[in-house]
Structure 1
């Protein structure tokens, strides 16, 4: 069954991530990011007519919680790490750092099921198309405190994660929690985690997840902790998901609770049991996506209270159900500028541009 078309590419406000050299820094210091040395096998997005974003876009650029936009480790030292010890040391340090990952780093399981904390003001970026983190995941956020219902001053913020392959975690691959804000997760490859690929919950806010490939994974993107967590989540969880390739990732692409506005545009869905689910009065604006062989592309009648969903210019091919719509949702342009690509172009530009080795 075929349904309409759409718009979609992310108009990114360029953020120059220039960083100074520092005496004694572990290894190579690059004068600027996100030009990544060693990415010889990179497939330039320009070849597909899509320039790679120099900086974040979407909700990660919206001012709030005392932060103007997302710059990551800009202004701090750049270090290149090749071991788990060096990697975990630098991502947990105070202050801005650009942490470049060279090769494959196996993360230890440790006492927290393989999840390792990331501190504020960090850019974590892989060098070339083969940089990888295996056997564990990253937690962007303070430890869970169920009694905390307002953002604490020490909430983790201003984190960029790009150009990395994540696989094999016994828990999540990336977990964003406890009122973390201004996070940009871009051009990564996610597979084979035991729980979520990128879970965002417990009051986290102002986040963009863009140009990632998700494959060989079940529960992909959880947004909102559970049906009883309105005290932390309601009015927050504003996230932009764009130009991601859901390549056979089975479900939760994303599955949303409580968020007032989630913008899902220009994503490519291929062979999924369901695409998007909105519950607990979450508001999803779904536009310019391309769904192929997806049983339920978009749902509001799901588990838990009904959500809201508005759809515009999406294309459905060989899907068993239409996108369910309900209620009204604010226009994303109320919050940030963007330009959507035509939905018909999504099956070409998204596989060509999503994942690692493309920035």
Structure 2
């Protein structure tokens, strides 16, 4: 039952049956956002109500013609446009420390006005909710319209991939929130269309999340999806790609991520024969990422131009750093390569690409760039500030990954 107390009097707002076992512990959660109330038992929503009497007040749990014991009651606030979202949970799991950083703006291609969008704002203007179960999260990413989704704790997702709809911000709380087992698919189902459909997925932000043991890709952006910002995530120990972008997707920024203990890191363009969808698209910026002993695909690029790779830290990538292939055009500048035998190549495998390498630092056992040809300038699309490449290692090690935003 959801209810309210006014001056000592009780008003029932909504009731619903729920099956419980006498003598057993159950998790009860109440969410209040603006005028909307939702009640959950063991992670499943069982009741909802609307009441706009109060803009603030106290939240509590009680029995009515019954007896119960409440333990580990936790109240947390997540700011939103309609006032705070308060969650009361009776559970033995503690809230991850930190905040839900739903604001922020990207640098790079995700900031560009194109394809009917002015930059990437995710769920801005929509409500903010907190999720800590797979059922809640999957329901949230399937909703239409702007929504800010705050992920609390590590959620085991059924594999392999789960579709994210447009206008979503997905942010982890603290430094230990994210997903195991499954990954995120930002895009429509695969088809042979060669121009962006009107319903292409757009305007998605994924930040401050841990990804582990994914069954396919951790994050897959496909089918002309655009204006996507992937920022401050920690990705390791998965099956296929950590972050793959393909099939005509564009206007994407990949920033401040830490990838490690994983081989197939980041793919941009999935096949040498997919030019019909990819030529003129796959415009992506990679900056301030820590490619930490990830052997290959850092990224491996096909067709995209310009692909801007700047101020990243490369450490002991045993196969190749940036591989620019299949007539792609890459600008690789201001990066710090440490013990990378083949840091930049436009002849790594398959058809060759074009690349410009400038102002990079090569230390330890690193080789030099294998580059040639002319490439469109990223500055023709957006402004950016280039850090001194000698400072990049320290800056990226200190700032990349989770727990370092908001």
**Could you report, residue by residue, the CA deviation over 1:23-82 in whole angstroms, capped at 9, with x for unpaired residues?**
2267844137xxxx977579xxxxxxxxxx931110001111111110000111100000
**Equivalent residue for 1:194?**
239
> Which aligned pairs between 1:317-328 and structure 2 lie closer than 5 A?
317-328=363-374
Residue 327 (structure 2) pairs with residue 281 (structure 1): yes
**Equivalent residue for 1:23?**
36
Instruction: Say whether the 8 Å CA contact 2:234–2:402 is kept in structure 1.
Output: yes
C-alpha distance in 1, partners of 2:38/2:390?
Answer: 47
**Could you report, residue by residue, the CA deviation over 1:65-111 in whole angstroms, capped at 9, with x for unpaired residues?**
111110000111100000000000001111110000001100012xx
C-alpha distance in 2, partners of 1:40/1:161?
Answer: 19
C-alpha distance in 2, partners of 1:322/1:219?
Answer: 23
Residue 300 (structure 2) pairs with residue 250 (structure 1): no
Displacement of 1:318: 2.0
1:206 aligned counterpart, secondary structure:
strand
Instruction: Say whether the 8 Å CA contact 1:28–1:80 is kept in structure 2.
Output: no
1:350 aligned counterpart, secondary structure:
helix
**Equivalent residue for 2:222?**
177
**Equivalent residue for 1:260?**
305
Displacement of 1:319: 3.2
Displacement of 1:303: 1.4
Residue 273 (structure 2) pairs with residue 228 (structure 1): yes
**Equivalent residue for 1:154?**
199
TM-score of the aligned structures, taking structure 1 as reference length: 0.86
Displacement of 1:320: 4.5
Instruction: Say whether the 8 Å CA contact 1:291–1:319 is kept in structure 2.
Output: no
1:227 aligned counterpart, secondary structure:
coil
**Equivalent residue for 1:296?**
342
**Equivalent residue for 1:204?**
249
**Equivalent residue for 1:215?**
260
**Could you report, residue by residue, the CA deviation over 1:122-153 in whole angstroms, capped at 9, with x for unpaired residues?**
000001111021111000000101x2111000
Match of residue 338, structure 1, among 365, 377, 384:
384
1:296 aligned counterpart, secondary structure:
coil
> Which aligned pairs between 1:49-198 and structure 2 lie closer than 5 A?
54-109=104-159, 114-145=160-191, 147-198=192-243
How many residues align? The count is: 322
Match of residue 238, structure 1, among 283, 295, 303:
283
Gap change, CA 1:175 and 1:277, over 3 Å in 2: same
Displacement of 1:21: 4.1
Instruction: Say whether the 8 Å CA contact 1:72–1:160 is kept in structure 2.
Output: yes
Gap change, CA 1:287 and 1:101, over 3 Å in 2: same
C-alpha distance in 1, partners of 2:305/2:106?
Answer: 21
Gap change, CA 1:308 and 1:350, over 3 Å in 2: same
2:113 aligned counterpart, secondary structure:
coil
**Could you report, residue by residue, the CA deviation over 1:128-181 in whole angstroms, capped at 9, with x for unpaired residues?**
111021111000000101x21110000000000000000101110000000000
Instruction: Say whether the 8 Å CA contact 1:25–1:77 is kept in structure 2.
Output: no
Instruction: Say whether the 8 Å CA contact 1:225–1:233 is kept in structure 2.
Output: no
RMSD: 1.9
Gaps of 5+ in 1: 1-19, 43-52
C-alpha distance in 1, partners of 2:229/2:244?
Answer: 13
Gap change, CA 1:30 and 1:301, over 3 Å in 2: same
**Equivalent residue for 1:47?**
none
Instruction: Say whether the 8 Å CA contact 1:240–1:264 is kept in structure 2.
Output: yes
Displacement of 1:317: 0.8
Larger relative contact order, structure 1 or 2 (CA cutoff 8 Å, min sep 6): 1
**Could you report, residue by residue, the CA deviation over 1:326-348 in whole angstroms, capped at 9, with x for unpaired residues?**
10112211110110110000111
Which structure's CA Rg is the greater one? 2
